[in-house]
């Protein structure tokens, strides 16, 4: 029996249940299947590198090598954080390393590298009446009028144990994101918004030792450079041809949003209410 789930505006058909994703009754546009043995895989399929090497891609098809020696948590995390984004990237979607939150009807993109505090800031916004749109990976489109849109991902946010403990949740009660990372996967349920939303603000995050001074306003050129950095993630995405003109149009539309700033925080596991107040002030 096939199970259908909506993620990043696509409908994934899966042979196995994926309770962390949002069920859908629509016709599938992506497929996930399992296989084992070399006879199944051929030259038309592309194997993802590194820890995601258990996944093979061909067009809109994702095949998981059921013989791979990875724990269940890691496989499920790699599916949503690497395999599906890699397929979308190859289909021409603009994929960014970013976290999206809907706060009082306004969508904000939190952009930054690893340990920049995207999930931490998002969780604090969610505690202030926000809704999660995506965590770690964002898929963005643009309308014919030039309005950037964000497509929601799945209702899972990945948080460090210190952050979970600070809001009264016991990290040890939650599953690991994967075997090599201490972050825990928290299912937000009703605190997740499914759909497509206009992006109102960009917020670039960096540790206090970042190259930019605290709370600096960014020029359009700075924004484009930072967005380009957030879009590139070799070797998983860079080896495939893509519509450079289309991506440039989306990055330019994002860079022209008002009041984009670089904000700094203490550490990825440190709840920084001042950082969130800055973000909320920009959204009001």
Average pLDDT over residues 78-95: 90
pLDDT confidence of 242, banded at 50, 70, 90?
low
pLDDT confidence of 107, banded at 50, 70, 90?
very high
The label of the residue with tokens 């899966």 reads 14
Q: Are 224 and 252 in contact (CB under 8 A)?
A: yes
Sheet order of strands, 181-187 included: 156-159, 181-187, 176-178
Average pLDDT over residues 183-212: 82
Q: Does residue 268 or residue 129 have the better pLDDT?
A: 129
Express each pLDDT in 43-77 by its tens digit. 678 888 888 888 989 889 999 987 667 777 788 88
Average pLDDT over residues 78-93: 90
pLDDT confidence of 268, banded at 50, 70, 90?
very low
Average pLDDT over residues 160-185: 71
Express each pLDDT in 137-168 by its tens digit. 999 999 999 999 999 999 999 888 777 776 66
Concatenated DSSP letters of 72-135: HHHHHHHIIIIIHHHHHHHTT-EEESEEEEEETTEEEEEE-STTSSHHHHHHHHHHTTEEEEES
Q: Are 60 and 8 in contact (CB under 8 A)?
A: no
Maximum pairwise Cα distance, the chain: 57
Burial class (CB in 10 A: 0-12, 13-18, 19+), 208: exposed
pLDDT confidence of 235, banded at 50, 70, 90?
very low
Rounded Cα gap, residues 240 and 185, in angstroms:
30
What domains can be seen in the chain, in order of their start residue? 3-91 (no CATH), 95-283 (3.40.50)
The model's pTM is 0.86
Give φ, ψ of 70 to 5 degrees. Answer: -130, 145
Express each pLDDT in 25-46 by its tens digit. 999 999 999 876 555 556 678 8
Peptide bond into 235 cis (omega under 30): yes
């Amino acid at each position: 029996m096939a199970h259908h789930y909506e993620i990043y505006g696509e409908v994934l058909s899966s042979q196995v249940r994926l309770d962390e994703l949002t069920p859908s009754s629509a016709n599938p546009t992506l497929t996930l299947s399992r296989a084992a043995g070399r006879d199944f895989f051929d030259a038309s399929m592309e194997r993802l590198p590194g820890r995601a090497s258990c996944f093979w891609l061909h067009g809109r098809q994702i095949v998981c090598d059921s013989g791979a020696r990875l724990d269940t948590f890691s496989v499920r995390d790699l599916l949503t954080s690497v395999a599906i984004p890699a397929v979308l990237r190859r289909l021409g979607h603009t994929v960014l390393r970013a976290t999206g939150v809907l706060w009082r009807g306004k969508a904000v993109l939190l952009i930054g590298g690893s340990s920049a505090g995207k999930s931490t800031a998002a969780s604090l916004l969610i505690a202030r009446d926000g809704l999660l749109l995506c965590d770690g990976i964002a898929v963005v489109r643009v309308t014919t009028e030039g309005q950037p849109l964000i497509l929601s991902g799945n209702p899972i946010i990945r948080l460090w144990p210190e952050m979970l403990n600070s809001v009264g949740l016991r990290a040890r009660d939650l599953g690991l994101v994967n075997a090599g990372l201490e972050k825990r996967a928290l299912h937000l349920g009703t605190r997740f918004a499914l759909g497509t939303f206009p992006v109102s603000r960009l917020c670039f995050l960096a540790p206090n030792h970042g190259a930019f001074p605290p709370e600096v306003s960014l020029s359009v050129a700075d924004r484009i450079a930072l967005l380009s950095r957030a879009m590139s993630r070799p070797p998983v995405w860079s080896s495939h041809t893509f519509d450079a003109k289309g991506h440039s149009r989306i990055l330019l539309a994002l860079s022209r949003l008002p009041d984009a700033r670089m904000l700094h925080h203490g550490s990825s596991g440190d709840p920084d209410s001042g950082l969130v107040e800055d973000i909320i002030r920009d959204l009001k």
